[in-house]
Amino acid sequence: MDALFQAFNNAGHSLFEVGGCVRDRLMGVEPNDMDFATSALPKETIEILTSAGLASYPIGIEFGTVQTILDGEKVEITTFRCSESYTKGDRKPSVVFGDSIESDLARRDLTFNALARRSDGSIIDPFGGEADLANGIIRTPGDPNIAFTDDPLRILRAARFVARGMGEIEQMTLNAMCVHKELVLELSAERVFEEITKLLMAKHPVLGLRALDATGLLRVLFPELEPVLDFTEDTGKWHHLSVWEHTLMVVDNTPPIAEVRWAALFHDSAKPACWSKTSTGIHFLRHDHVGSEIWDSVARKLKCSNKFREHVSTLIFEHQCLRNNMGIKGIRRLIHRLGDRLDNLFYHTRADIIGHVPHIV
C-alpha cells in the first residue's frame, strides 16, 4: 500500500483510503474491500499505475473509477467527486468530479463512511463519523433531506446499518427517511433487491426490518406485506405471536442464506387472505401455495434471477410438508422434488417451528 501512496505522491496527486475500509479498521475489523479517492483524473490514474508497474482496469472510468491489483487483491481508485445523483430507475449515477477530499466525503451516505485515511495513518473526519461509530449513531454527513433526494438508496442503507448492529438512526435522519420514503420507488429494482438482501443477510436482520417498518418503508417497498403488518385476527392455538412478529422470529432463527431469509420474510404472506374460523378452530388453508404465488410476483418486480426466484418459491410452497407424516415414499418424493434445496427447507422449517407456541414445540 505504501508503494501506491508513493506513486501518486511522486506524480503530484493526493491519495486517501476512504469509506468502509477506514470504518472497518477503526472497528478492528480487516476490510473486505479497499477503496481509494484521489485528486487525479481517471486517465492520470491509469498513467500513474502504469508508471508504477501496476495493472489498470477502467471498470467505471466514466464515473472516475479505475481498478488495480494490490497484494493480490482488487483495489478501486476513484477521482474525488463533489456530487453524485441518480435518474429515476437508473443504476448508474451522474457524477461531477471534485477538487478536495472534504468535498468527496461530504457526498457520502453516512458519517462513519465519510472518513479518509492518509498515508501516515491519520484520519480525516470532517463530520464526526468516528464519534458516531463509537456512540452507535447512524446519520448522514449533511442535511439528510438532500442526501436522500440525491440518492434514495441511502435511505435503505441507513436501515441496513441498523441490521448490522451499528447503532440507532439519529432523529433528523429518521424523520427524513419517513418524509422521503416514497423516493425508494425511483430506484432500479436491482438496487433494491441487492440492498434488502444485504439487510437480510446482516447479523441482526430483524432490527433492520423493524426500522423499515417504523419508517413506513416496508409498506412502500412491499405492499404485499401490508396485510401481514395489519393482521389482528386470532392466529390459533399453534401461535402465540401475531403473523408479523412470528415472521420476524422465523427470519431471526434462519442461517444467513439469502434464499432462506427471503423465504422466511414471505412464507406467511398469504395468511391474512387465507384465514378462516370454523368449529374446529383457526385455519390458514393453502397459505403456503398462495404465499409462493405472492413471492413470485414480488421476485419478478425485483428482477432477481429465475433460479433465485424459483428456489425461494419452492421453500415457501413446501414449508408445511415436513410436519406431515410422509412415510418413506413421501420422503423420497420430497428429496426428488427439492434436490439440493432440501437443506434450506430444513433450515426454514426449523425456524418456523421455533416461532410456534413454545410448550407445543
- pLDDT mean over 205-209: 98
For residues 292 and 207, give the distance between their C-alpha atoms in angstroms, rounded to a whole number: 25
Q: What percent of the chain has pLDDT over 70?
A: 95
Residue 86's pLDDT band, with cuts at 50, 70 and 90, is low
| pLDDT greater than 70 at residue 87 | no
> pLDDT tens digits for 294-353?
999 999 999 999 999 999 999 999 988 876 667 788 888 888 888 999 999 999 999 998
For residues 181 and 177, give the distance between their C-alpha atoms in angstroms, rounded to a whole number: 6
> pLDDT tens digits for 214-225?
999 999 999 999
Q: What is the pLDDT of residue 24?
A: 95
Number of domains, the chain: 2
Helix orientation angle between 342-354 and 258-266, rounded to the nearest 10 degrees: 40
Domain closes at, from 112, 135, 158 = 135
| Most confident stretch, 53-57, 58-62, 237-241 | 53-57
In a domain, 118, yes or no: yes
Question: How many Cβ atoms are within 10 Å of 100's Cβ, its own excluded?
Answer: 13
CB neighbour list of residue 99: distance below 8 Å, 6 or more residues apart: 39, 80, 82
Question: Which residue matches cell numbers 484521489?
Answer: 38
Domain closes at, from 114, 135, 156 = 135
Residue 166's pLDDT band, with cuts at 50, 70 and 90, is very high
DSSP string, 50-94: HHTT---EEEEGGGTEEEEEETTEEEEEEE-EEEEEE-TT-SSEE
Residue 116 is part of which domain span? Answer: 1-135
- CATH number reported for the structural domain that contains residue 27 in this entry: 3.30.460.10
Q: Which helix (H) or strand (E) holds 322?
A: none
- CATH number reported for the structural domain that contains residue 252 in this entry: 1.10.3210
Q: What is the pLDDT of residue 311?
A: 97
Contact 144, 173 (CB under 8 A): yes
In a domain, 54, yes or no: yes
